[in-house]
Amino acid sequence: METSVFSGSCLCGKVKYTVATHIDAFYFCHCEQCRKITGSAFASNILTKSAEVNWISGFEWLKRFDYPGERIFTKVFCTHCGSGMPYLNKQANALVIPADSLDHAPNIKPNHNIFWADKASWYESGIAAPKCAGFSE
Ligand SMILES: [Zn+2]
Ligand SMILES: [Zn+2]
């Protein structure tokens, strides 16, 4: 299996990391929890083999939130700017890397839309809306 080296950071730049691991999947998750916690239509996550994240800086800024409901759901984020950061899942058998925490585009494409049944009712009309290079006029 091929190992990829990922490097990423949060928006404010306090947290930086690298991690070397094997990619299992790259998915858009449309579940209710991902929509709520991102405040957006879906979360973009790269799922890899369990691996140790090398925190280059800002480890002290990280906070982990484990959703208390029945559904296993976790978020790790920078407490200064709120950006999602990589985390080991609860079973510690997979690492979840928020795709846009990466500093470079990954050399893989999303291969699943998971929890499609839970997608925002406005998601498809949003994709179909006119595209503007910057703000709309
Ligand atoms: Zn930050
Ligand atoms: Zn989700």
CA of 67 to the centre of ligand 2 (A): 12
Establish if 137 belongs to a structural domain. Answer: no
Question: Amino acid identity, residue 87?
Answer: Y
Q: How confident is the model at residue 1 (pLDDT cuts 50, 70, 90)?
A: low
Establish if 136 belongs to a structural domain. Answer: no
Structural domains of the chain, count:
1
CA of 64 to the centre of ligand 2 (A): 16
Ligand nearest to the CA of 101: 1
Establish if 132 belongs to a structural domain. Answer: no
Range of the domain at 86: 4-122
Q: How far apart are CA 63 and CA 80, in angstroms?
A: 10
Q: How far apart are CA 27 and CA 47, in angstroms?
A: 8
pLDDT digits (tens, 9 = 90+) for 67-78: 998 888 999 999
pLDDT digits (tens, 9 = 90+) for 89-118: 988 899 999 999 999 998 899 999 999 999
Q: How far apart are CA 68 and CA 91, in angstroms?
A: 15
CATH code of residue 109: 2.170.150.70
